[in-house]
Structure 1
């Protein structure tokens, strides 16, 4: 039974606020908006706060029946595959457990996450509202990702888990979560939703429409809080949505704190966010991160290309698209650095950024698939996506290939070809590995003087795109075989394990050598 919410109070004076040093982008599409009926979730993670945060690895966490506290009604019942980072950014500071920043479990639930800048306690306090997070004892956003993936099978169970932890849920004697996060999730019944979460509250935004631009070019469609409304039936969810780092749901907490403030048109002028007029444009007007505002629109433009999506579109795919014309018909979310061919260009505003540390594309099961969600697949690019290569993994396999444990080092070697830096470790947004914000597009995609220079035409991307196209063919054939449904669970696990390791070995070898597998 869903709990009623108290009436909202009035808005108060807006004060100055500085966003925290992290950012990401994500998108999600339901099976009704994809070519083959499978939902897809995508994320690029941006991170520069810890020196070794770029050292990213996939990992598998098995179900172990553990509980986090008295409010844990589900317990750890599902194994999942996630992506994390070596060092402190990949470890929960309270429990010491490895935490995922994206993942999928062996029952078909997929999750991608971005930080919610406008949901932090610092942001609320800066605007005159009480702090909602338990900053000392509360569970973090990364640990919450772990709980969702290890405990939830349905989108509705994610909502229940959030209700159960709003007061701490018995975790670490806390009074609430220490979360300011936005997660997009799908399940194997075709349901998908975006949850915006602070310490003691959250919103639910069911994916039931495709958010297109209005006549003014803004994404101003209203997002309402769906957690206290009747949910669509299984299979009735349809459409897609995207998030960067600010809330989009029009909902106000009982304290009066509004999750979304959208009363003006938000533009970027000379690198600064400017809010003017009284026309909502779908961008949180309290958000003052230029990169977040600009990336929000870049995600939207690509999601709104008028064709059905599939997992390859989020990685790289030739499509008939209104977004780009002429012969240049390769679309991408993960690898996008704007219009090409071009001279060297800064990537701070683009979907792939100089601070992007990994990309992931999760494909779910579609209605009618056998094996109860076990065909869900997680494609991972272990490094800055535009110079990296995506590799498919099956959470149900229960393991990740050893070949991928140092794939971030191979990606870093390719990254050195397009950026000028000597220190591999990060020491902030503009030093160490992030000293150079400008990508060498000739090394990336080829020289326009040679008649190339668009995505995948030359440079590093000539062979990375070729490797991925080979992997796409291998994967599509394997999935078609698995959909026959003739394997026992034991056979399915064994075949998935052997297949993904073989693919990882081949992909890594050709990636390091700069070659393309034979068809």
Structure 2
């Protein structure tokens, strides 16, 4: 293992490093259907993301990869064939001082997906890897045995926070942004995003509505600032006729958001093959959720995989639409959003237009999943679903003649 780890370190190249992420894990005891959830809202300078499936380890796996990473040296969240899933958020308050270049989290995640089936496997891996690890991270993990925990991990040690422990997670969920609860709290980062997320989770837990849709449609598109309380829906313009700028810094969705994943685990009696990764490639404000299932036939929507340019079409189109939200490309333009392009009182904002399309995908996906849970997975049905999703995405999102008529 030591040799493999150092090989990965040698392969590490300059890439888009984590800036800020909002993440959570939810035990099956806290979710609407008894299945655990792993959530990562990724913020990074590497805005072009893609899906990649791998067969280079003990277990096959799929995950989010930077488009510039041609061979998938680093993975930034995903799951494997055992139902083990992992992601991270960068933490800025664990290591007292840097002992070398940090941000090896993508390497650790890849290694875990290759070889871990349970939380115990991951803990053993962290214990046996050579130190320092060159990380400063909150790793969130779930498995097919009902495990759900965070590992606040520095260069030499880690501390576990178990979402199944009512003394730690009384309502079944744990949230992490860019600080660790076991770290130096004077160096916390991402406080406003934590403040925005916590009441959302708490109220959803009280009402029994912690679900994958809640995470993707409510949390990742939450437009109320955690510190100031500013709700952008309260100041949205009537229509799209005039550009209306609003300050847009430290919301959960950000200019730097590159992807979102929710891995929905399985109940103990269900096959791990029904683990689902609900995926947003690009900005959650300009693109739709699409589910993927790891499978031996490699049936995935082609718009989520790298094409001849090296980018995933869906992510690329999302970023092109995002330019309408952030038309100022100089100075501090990334901190100001054109609210008239995003949401309007007459319902013609980009976010408002993608929701009906997304709901078509989610409704069809839920129907397919419920069928598989009852009658078993069918590869032919997955193949047809992937073709259907690709066609729908092409129809509504590609920059073709149909695009202008749809938006």
Distance 1:497 1:341 in 2: 43
More helix as a share of residues: 2
* 2:159 equivalent in structure 1: 203
Distance 1:80 1:501 in 2: 22
Tell me the SS of whatever aligns to 2:50: strand
* 2:136 equivalent in structure 1: 180
For the Cα contact (< 8 Å) 1:38–1:364, is it kept in 2? yes
Q: Which of 116, 119, 125 is matched with 2:91 structurally? A: 116
* 1:401 equivalent in structure 2: 301
2:321 matches 1:414: yes
Q: Which has the larger radius of gyration?
A: 1
Aligned residues: 360
Distance 2:277 2:404 in 1: 24
Q: Decide whether aligned partners of structure 1 residues 209 and 352 sit closer, same or farther in structure 2, where only a CA change above 3 A counts.
A: farther
TM score, norm. by length of structure 2:
0.81
Distance 2:92 2:103 in 1: 17
TM score, norm. by length of structure 1:
0.64
Q: Decide whether aligned partners of structure 1 residues 514 and 182 sit closer, same or farther in structure 2, where only a CA change above 3 A counts.
A: farther
* 1:469 equivalent in structure 2: 359
* 1:140 equivalent in structure 2: 104
- The residue correspondences of 1:213-224 to structure 2 (distance < 5 A) are none
* 1:72 equivalent in structure 2: none
2:207 matches 1:307: yes
Alpha-carbon distance, 1:106 to partner = 1.8
Q: Decide whether aligned partners of structure 1 residues 354 and 483 sit closer, same or farther in structure 2, where only a CA change above 3 A counts.
A: same
Distance 2:376 2:21 in 1: 40
Q: What are structure 1's unaligned runs of at least 5 residues?
A: 1-19, 65-75, 126-130, 169-174, 211-221, 225-236, 250-258, 262-283, 317-331, 423-429, 451-456
Tell me the SS of whatever aligns to 1:31: coil
Alpha-carbon distance, 1:207 to partner = 0.4
For the Cα contact (< 8 Å) 1:463–1:511, is it kept in 2? no
State which drifts further: 496-505 or 390-399. Answer: 496-505
* 1:342 equivalent in structure 2: 235
* 2:64 equivalent in structure 1: 83
- The residue correspondences of 1:60-459 to structure 2 (distance < 5 A) are 60-62=53-55, 64=56, 76-87=57-68, 90=69, 97-120=72-95, 124-125=96-97, 133=99, 135=100, 140-165=104-129, 168=130, 175-208=131-164, 239-249=172-182, 259=183, 261=184, 284-287=185-188, 289=189, 292-305=190-203, 306-308=206-208, 309-316=210-217, 332-338=218-224, 339=231, 340-343=233-236, 344-369=245-270, 371=271, 373-396=272-295, 398-404=298-304, 405-422=312-329, 435-446=333-344, 448=345, 450=346, 457-459=347-349
Provide runs of 4+ in structure 1 moved above 6 Å.
Answer: none
Tell me the SS of whatever aligns to 1:33: coil
Alpha-carbon distance, 1:412 to partner = 1.3
Alpha-carbon distance, 1:515 to partner = 7.6
2:396 matches 1:503: no
Alpha-carbon distance, 1:401 to partner = 2.6
For the Cα contact (< 8 Å) 1:59–1:399, is it kept in 2? no
Q: Decide whether aligned partners of structure 1 residues 21 and 493 sit closer, same or farther in structure 2, where only a CA change above 3 A counts.
A: closer
Q: What are structure 2's unaligned runs of at least 5 residues?
A: 1-16, 225-230, 237-244, 305-311
* 2:50 equivalent in structure 1: 57
2:38 matches 1:46: no
For the Cα contact (< 8 Å) 1:467–1:511, is it kept in 2? no
